[in-house]
Amino acid sequence: MWLLAYLAYLRLKIGAIILRTLIRLLSGGWIANPDTIHHLPSRDPQRRIKVHVYRPPLKKSRSRSGPGPVLINFHGSGFVIPAHGSDDEFCREMSQRANYTVLDVQYRLSPENPFPAAVHDTEDVLKWVLQQPALFDLSRVAVSGFSAGGTLALVAASTLFPKGTFRSVMTFYPSTEGHLDPASLIAPEAGGRPIPVSTMRLFASCYIQTEVDSQDPRLIPSFADTALFPKNALVITAGYDTLAAEGERFAKQLKKDTRRHVVYRRMARCNHGWDKKARIGTHEWEQKTQAYDLAAEMLRL
């Protein structure tokens, strides 16, 4: 039995290495320029969680008295790809434009660390933040994330902490219905480069390696009680992305509560993760600018 389990893991490990190598070659890697780097405590005394810190402009931070607002961000990964630092531009913009301290979290990846390792890292970082009233205004704590990180942000905002803990949640092209067969997913707009079905299945196999509750909201945010989500929510999807429809269904479900401020927008003719390598002057750049504008507006509420 142990040999079969080892061989199954080895197959996932090889698949992850190949995929990581291809993506690194295609993307050119990620260069981040945070103001500082912290290593926060985890539930494992032998391990720390790396966090990039982006601070608001010095003049603005001096103009206020007391602790300021904080945004905790989780990068995209498919729970497999090491892409910490890929949200550098977003984090810097939010710190500068919304006057937030931004913490960009490096959570553990699979298949080496399958579910619930990433969720535990998410919870541990947020617990640390919520224990720092001298550093942060705990009435203005927001969470955000991209792709798999967007899923983690939704999980944190609904399942891991009591209602009212977070002022806002912002999620970009997340998976909200991970129980669906990737082959059944259709992008709302034809064309583009949807995530290959084989890649999505590899992500799922790496992340979920043991028997789990198929309706666990820590895996599938759409199964969480919508009443638990923050009063402010931003959902961004992409027209060429096969995950768009579920993200939009989720946003519409949130919007049924008229007391909640929900903004959702589909970025036309954009692929999953389009904003990461968007070039100035292109359609993708314009759509990225609109998406980041919406995020900055959400934080200022």
pLDDT, tens digit, for every residue of 170-196? 999 999 999 899 999 999 999 999 999
The arithmetic mean of pLDDT across residues 125-152, rounded, is 98
pLDDT, tens digit, for every residue of 244-263? 999 999 999 999 999 999 99
Strands of the chain (E only): list them.
Answer: 36-41, 48-54, 68-74, 101-105, 136-146, 168-172, 232-238, 261-267
The answer to whether 188 and 266 are in contact (CB under 8 A) is yes
> Strand pairing of 136-146 and 232-238?
unpaired
26 falls in which pLDDT band (50, 70, 90)? confident
- Is the pLDDT reported for residue 145 higher than 60? yes
**CA-wise closest residue to 263 among 122, 193, 169:** 169
Residue 186 to residue 75: CA distance in whole angstroms: 24
Q: Considering the domain 2-300 in this protein, what is its CATH number? A: 3.40.50.1820
Token reading at 146: 């991209």
**CA-wise closest residue to 173 among 80, 264, 109:** 264
CB atoms within 10 A of CB 255: 16
Return the pLDDT at 61.
57
Q: Work out the mean pLDDT of the chain and round it to a whole number.
A: 95
Query: Residue 66 phi/psi, 5° resolution?
Result: 85, 180
Q: Any idea where the domains of the chain sit in the sequence?
A: 2-300
Of residues 72 and 59, more confidently modeled = 72
Return the pLDDT at 229.
98
Token reading at 174: 């997340």
Q: What percent of the chain has pLDDT over 90?
A: 90
Residue 280 to residue 293: CA distance in whole angstroms: 16
Three-state DSSP state, 72 = strand
- Is the pLDDT reported for residue 282 higher than 70? yes
